[in-house]
Amino acid sequence: MAHILAIDTAIAKNTNSLILMYKNIGDTGAKYLADILATNTKITSINLDGSCVGDEGVKYLADMLSKNTKITSINLEGNDIGDDGAKYLANMLVKNTTLTSLELSYNHIGETGAKYVIDMLAKNTTLTMLDLSFNSISNLEYIDTFIKRNKNYKGAKPSLREFKKRSIIPAELYRLMCKCVLSLC
């Protein structure tokens, strides 16, 4: 029930951005949120960073986003999204023409999920920012070549190699931190 209160409180603020970072909404909360946003006419940006959303929750969000014409940005960084979740999002992005920014760093997406995303990028022309860093994907630069062709290209986030050069928190440490947070989910 706490996740419902967090969602209702965030929506009651009546802004264009819905911020639910670290609110532990999980898959059940994601379903509740998707149901509410199905008829959304105001919110354009959603931040669910570290909110314990897994593949099942992403399925609800992807179904909603495939019909939604207002949301342009969603941050799903630091959740529990794997290859199945990447597939749900990729299928949605084939249909969705308003989402321009998708943050998926620090999840559990592997090469299979990356293939779903690459196949989608061959069809999607509106996504201009996609972050898949700190997943189990070997070649982020390949994905960047597809997204560069889209209008208003903002660039993909740096690869894992570039992050390590900049002394940002190493992926292994961040995953350990996320694992501790996710154990609370």
Helices (H), the chain: 2-12, 26-37, 55-67, 83-95, 111-121, 140-147, 160-165, 171-182
User: Averaged in consecutive runs of 10 residues, what is the pLDDT profile of the chain (185 residues)?
Assistant: 72 84 94 92 94 97 95 96 97 93 93 88 85 82 63 48 36 47 51
Give the chain's domain count: 1
Query: Domain range for residue 23?
Result: 2-182
User: Are the beta carbons of 3 and 24 closer than 8 angstroms?
Assistant: yes
* Amino acid 53: pLDDT: 97
Give the type of residue at 38.
A
Domain CATH number, residue 8: 3.80.10.10
The burial of 19, by beta-carbon neighbours within 10 Å (0-12 exposed, 13-18 middle, 19 or more buried), is given as middle
* Amino acid 127: pLDDT: 86
Q: What is the pLDDT of residues 77-123, one digit of tens each?
A: 999 999 999 999 999 999 999 999 999 999 999 989 988 988 888 88
* Amino acid 57: pLDDT: 98
* Amino acid 164: pLDDT: 35
Q: Which two tokens stand for residue 38?
A: 């199905």
